[in-house]
Amino acid sequence: MLLSLQMSGQKHFSALFLLVIFYNFIFAFDTAPHFDLTRFVLHEHGFNNTTIKIAQVENWLTDYYSSTPTTSKENRADLEKLHFDNLFTTAEIQNNWAWLINNLKIATQKAAKDDKPLEMLAIIGIGLHATQDFYTHSNWVETHPRFPDGAFQTATFLSTLVSAQNLFTGKYPADRKIGFDGKNVPPNAEIHGDYVNGLNHDSPVRPNWTEAYVFAYVASHELLELMQKWANEVDPNFWLKVQQFQVNQSDAKDLEYDLRALKNMSMWIKGKGADGHWKGDKSGFAKFFDTFAPKWIASKSSIFVKQISEGDLPNQLSQNLYSSNSAPKLPQTNHFSLKKRAIILQTTLIKEKDDVALLEPKIDSGGKADFYPVITIGGQTYIDRVLQDYSEFENPWVEIHFADDSATEIPINFAIFDEDDTDVDGRYKDDICDINPKSGKTDLDFRFNLKDGSVSGEINGIFQNKSNVFTSSGAKPDKNRALIKAFVTQFLLR
Ligand SMILES: [Zn+2]
């Protein structure tokens, strides 16, 4: 029935039919962690902006096409296996990793042999997605906690291969009785869960998200190194072509539309237990979702979408996953060798200011504010979740940035917006809010000093934990005044 609704070259024509169904499944880290990690790691590996965006889209589509009827049932069944759920023993996890790595190697070497950089970017997007999902969906972070001084462990599954651990991943969905392998799910299996329960570390509203995010960063680096080595074995010039790949103007436009779909649909998805899957809950908004999503879904598929919705890449990469077929030996994986620190910026309060005069409009004249931050740390911009309809919210946002251990200071820009309108033709009409007491300046600029953990600039002092935060708020005559509290801290990756 689903197949008969497919139209060639279109994602789907029955958008409403789709909306009813695809709320059901969400299989991953929320989209923003995958998105930010992919950008960060590919940038550190010398990929250009276009290729980073392509890999971000392919990473997201690994989730998207696992949970919508807009691709064939077979394709969806293949993609469902690329999220490290429903593996209940160390042996199953070991076998799955071995097959996944085997499949990624074959696909990488085939793309290199056929000289297909775009296909390679899709392999990178899917491979990074699955790798990152292992750390958010398994108990790896609980079995590899931080050091007593707060430093993060960097021993990944691939670089250590310790099989004595009692490892498992969550059951998804919660009422699953039969695994992908046809066997009964163990009765005591822990569930994947949602915002408030289960094993998952999918967003900052879950325990140990920070640890899962750092492991996913490290593991993403290790996977890219393996892929580069595999590609070089076939064609030493191929990897550079992938890093420098460019698209024509029309495809570049399609890519921007796919990126908007990635963000908007993740941010606004609402219903059947979902209240946003960009970076935690509270961002869902059915009205905006229903305005944006059907148009993108009904539009002609881009060349990037087709990499996953059509063709046999998902099938190649899911061969033998969740089977008991004995897997090839895992390759020697070099342990993460970069010297890095995680810089963590945690906002502990966002609040509308209560100094609005009688005739002055409030931040949102129709109701409460819909705050979200746009935070740039060391040149990378992070957009966090929209808090739909809250005039005040505690511990709303957290950003993690990876800095070189040798860096001395990192510039930070902190801006707050109020979401007002759906994304019309890629132009956001959202209002900027004022969190800077200076007249005429709304955002905050300061530097984080890695030597002593202090900040300086428009904020000065040392603010490193929840009981020692800085406060900044807007002041008249600027409009849309709000108050934030936040702190910045750092931990080594060791
Ligand atoms: Zn996933």
What separation in Å is there between the alpha carbon of 132 and the centre of ligand 1? 8
Which range has the worst mean pLDDT, 145-159, 223-237, 336-350, 423-437?
423-437
Q: Are strands 340-352 and 270-271 parallel, antiparallel or unpaired?
A: unpaired
pLDDT of residue 424: 63
End-to-end CA distance of the chain: 52
Measured from the Cβ of residue 110, the count of other Cβ atoms closer than 10 Å reads 16
Decide if 26 contacts 203 (C-beta within 8 A): no
* Model confidence at 133: pLDDT above 80: yes
Q: Considering only CA atoms, which of 13, 238, 18, 268 is closest in space to residue 120?
A: 238
Mean pLDDT value of segment 487-493:
97
Q: Cα dist. 62→4, 31, 95, 296 in Å?
A: 23, 11, 21, 17
Decide if 383 contacts 373 (C-beta within 8 A): yes
What separation in Å is there between the alpha carbon of 208 and the centre of ligand 1? 17
pLDDT of residue 165: 77
Q: Is the peptide bond before 477 cis (omega within 30 degrees of 0)?
A: yes
pLDDT of residue 271: 86
Q: What is the percent of the chain where pLDDT is above 90?
A: 81
3-state secondary structure 380-419: EEEECCCECCCCEEEEEEEEEEEEECCCCEEEEEEEEEEC
Fold category of 340-492 in CATH? Immunoglobulin-like (2.60.40)
Residues for the chain: how many in total?
Answer: 494
What separation in Å is there between the alpha carbon of 53 and the centre of ligand 1? 18
Task: Encode pLDDT of 166-176 as tens digits.
Answer: 999 999 999 99
Mean pLDDT value of segment 281-308:
94
What separation in Å is there between the alpha carbon of 35 and the centre of ligand 1? 12
What separation in Å is there between the alpha carbon of 485 and the centre of ligand 1? 33
What separation in Å is there between the alpha carbon of 402 and the centre of ligand 1? 23
pLDDT of residue 3: 30
Rounded CA gap, 360 and 324, in Å? 67
Q: Where are the extended beta strands (E) located within 241-283?
A: 270-271, 274-275
| CATH 2.60.40.150 segments of the chain | 340-492
What separation in Å is there between the alpha carbon of 441 and the centre of ligand 1? 40
pLDDT of residue 171: 94
pLDDT-derived band at 163 (thresholds 50, 70, 90) equals: low
What separation in Å is there between the alpha carbon of 387 and the centre of ligand 1? 24
pLDDT of residue 457: 98
What separation in Å is there between the alpha carbon of 149 and the centre of ligand 1? 31
What separation in Å is there between the alpha carbon of 200 and the centre of ligand 1? 11
Task: Encode pLDDT of 236-265 as tens digits.
Answer: 999 999 999 999 999 999 999 999 999 999
What separation in Å is there between the alpha carbon of 126 and the centre of ligand 1? 9
Mean pLDDT value of segment 147-170:
89
Average pLDDT of the chain? 91
pLDDT of residue 13: 42
Mean pLDDT value of segment 54-66:
96
What separation in Å is there between the alpha carbon of 27 and the centre of ligand 1? 4
